């Protein structure tokens, strides 16, 4: 599957989430950020989620909806959201179908061992349903500021 690029139509999704369901159909006509993270309640994912939560008033002021997606089952995701008071939906992509559509389920390597895992990536989608910005291998600390900058230009 070719890698997504700015200007491409964002792949459709419909996933179980902390708010019930998160779907691209429900977001039609509104800008949104869909971000993929490896595992709930780990240090990098917590920094990233809390940074997004902190920026939520400004992002919401820009009309932007945020959805976080991981391959975790809903149980751990719900506990993670409750523990940190996250006010945006976190979705479970246990089958990795959405991650594969966005090209974020990738081969990784640690200590010479290769395995499949979630690449920390984000996609800003405009009102038209097209990708406006892509961040691959996101640095959790810088993520919210990058998104705010790009979202204010939408």
* All domains of the chain in start order, with CATH: 14-152 (3.40.30.10)
Q: Residue 113: pLDDT above 80? A: yes
Sign of CA dihedral 102, 85, 32, 18: positive
Per-residue model confidence (pLDDT) at position 154: 82
Residue 74: both structure tokens together: 């809903």
pTM: 0.93
Q: Which residues contact 24 (CB under 8 A, 6 or more apart)?
A: 10, 11, 12, 13, 14, 129
Q: What is the dihedral of CA 64, 68, 69, 74, to 10 degrees?
A: -120
142 three-state secondary structure:
coil
> Please, which residues bridge with residue 133 across strands?
124
* pLDDT, tens only, 55-107: 999 999 999 999 999 999 999 999 999 999 999 999 999 999 999 999 999 99
Residue 34 burial class via C-beta count within 10 angstroms: exposed 0-12, middle 13-18, buried 19 and up: buried
Which residues belong to the active site?
45
* Contact assessment for residue 130 and residue 24, using Cβ atoms and an 8 Å cutoff: no
Q: For residue range 16-66, what is the model confidence (pLDDT) as tens digits?
A: 999 999 999 999 999 999 999 999 999 988 999 999 999 999 999 999 999
* Eight-class DSSP state of 2: P
Q: What share of the chain is helix, strand, coil (3-state, %, to 5)?
A: 30, 30, 40
């Amino acid at each position: 599957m070719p890698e997504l690029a700015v200007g491409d139509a964002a792949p459709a999704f419909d996933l179980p989430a902390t708010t019930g369901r998160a779907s691209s159909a429900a977001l039609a006509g509104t800008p949104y950020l869909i971000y993929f993270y490896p595992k709930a309640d780990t240090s990098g994912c917590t920094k990233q989620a809390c940074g997004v939560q902190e920026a939520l008033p400004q992002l919401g002021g820009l009309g932007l909806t945020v959805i976080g997606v991981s391959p975790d089952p809903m149980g751990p995701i719900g506990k993670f959201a409750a523990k940190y008071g996250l006010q945006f939906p976190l979705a479970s992509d246990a089958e990795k179908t959405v991650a594969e559509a966005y090209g974020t389920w990738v081969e990784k390597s640690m200590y010479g061992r290769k395995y499949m895992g979630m690449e920390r990536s984000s996609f800003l989608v405009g009102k038209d349903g097209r990708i406006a910005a892509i961040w691959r291998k996101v640095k959790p600390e810088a993520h919210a500021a990058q998104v705010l900058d790009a979202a204010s230009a939408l």
